[in-house]
């Protein structure tokens, strides 16, 4: 199985800041990498698919990059509604697997 490792596990930041979350796969997954945002008590929401494609309706302050084993999610100019937990997911090989999550908190 492919293991996904996110860093950091938690992050404190202020409104307006730029934050970067990284995700590493235990083997190459090409660009079969997705990012989700989850708020407490809610289902995850797809932000970025295929490593760098922004899902329809997602603000442009979110961006993804990477290929192979190393991927990045960047949030430019944090907004209050961005404080949530973020997960990466590989969909290259069954079973699909998620990172452990990065909790983004308000500083």
- The answer to whether residue 55 forms part of the interface with other proteins (CB under 8 A) is yes
Query: How far is the C-alpha of 33 from the C-alpha of 53, rounded, in Å?
Result: 10
Query: How far is the C-alpha of 7 from the C-alpha of 11, rounded, in Å?
Result: 9
User: Which lies closer to other proteins via its Cβ, residue 13 or residue 44?
Assistant: 44
**Who's near 94: CB < 8 A, 6+ residues apart?**
none
Task: From 16-24, 31-39, 72-80, give the range in contact with other proteins by CB under 8 A.
Answer: 31-39
Q: Indicate the pairing of strand 70-75 with strand 19-25.
A: antiparallel
Chain position carrying tokens 């929401």: 45
Q: Nearest approach, Cβ of 94 to other proteins (angstroms)?
A: 5
Task: From 15-23, 69-77, 98-106, give the range in contact with other proteins by CB under 8 A.
Answer: 98-106
Summarize as ranges the residues that interact with other proteins (CB under 8 A): 1, 31-32, 34, 36, 38, 43-46, 48-50, 53, 55, 87, 89, 91-92, 94-101
């Amino acid at each position: 199985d492919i293991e996904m490792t996110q860093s950091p596990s938690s992050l404190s930041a202020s409104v307006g800041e730029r934050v970067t979350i990284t995700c590493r796969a235990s083997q190459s997954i090409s660009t079969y990498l997705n990012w989700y945002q989850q708020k407490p008590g809610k289902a995850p929401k797809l932000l970025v698919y295929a490593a760098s494609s922004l899902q329809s309706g997602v603000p442009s302050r979110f961006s993804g990059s990477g290929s192979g084993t190393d991927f990045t999610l960047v949030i430019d100019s944090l907004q209050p509604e961005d404080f949530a937990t973020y997960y990466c997911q590989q969909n290259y090989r069954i079973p699909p697997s998620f990172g452990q999550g990065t909790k983004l908190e308000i500083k």
